[in-house]
Amino acid sequence: SVPFLIRLFPVLLTKFVFLNFLAFPFFVDLRRPELLLNNTVSLYLPTEPGVTVGIWHTVPGSRGAEAQGKDQRWYEEALGDAHPVIIYLHGNGGTR
């Protein structure tokens, strides 16, 4: 009966493969990464009309002492310095 239901409702396949209706870890506000990780701030970039991408910016441990107590503007300026930037794209169920 499962192949018949998937053929009839193909949306079910994507729901069970990606589990995008679940948010994990449970009961964690992913918009506030500073509660989970030191030296991290959440930034939002508008990519096209009606679409905004949220990113976390984490500075390396070597700049951790410098980042203590800094605001979002400092983190944005830190992106423009001579240090390399590593981009890690990750989707999580319920947050894609």
Residue 84: is the preceding peptide bond cis (ω within 30°)? Answer: no
Range of the domain at 43: 21-79
Which two tokens mark 18? 């990606």
Residue 35 lies in a domain: yes
The pLDDT tens digits of the residues spanning 15-65 come to 877 776 776 677 777 788 888 888 888 888 888 898 888 888 888 888 888
Residue 87, domain member (yes or no): no
CA dihedral sign of residues 86, 91, 92, 94: positive
Indicate whether 85 belongs to any domain: no
H or E stretch at 45? strand 40-48
CA 14 to CA 90: how far, in whole Å?
A: 18
Structural domain count, the chain: 1
**Per-residue pLDDT band at 3 (split at 50, 70, 90):** confident
Q: Is residue 27 part of a domain?
A: yes
Q: Look at residue 71 and tell me whether its pLDDT is greater than 60.
A: yes
Amino acid 93: pLDDT: 52
pLDDT above 80 for 86: no
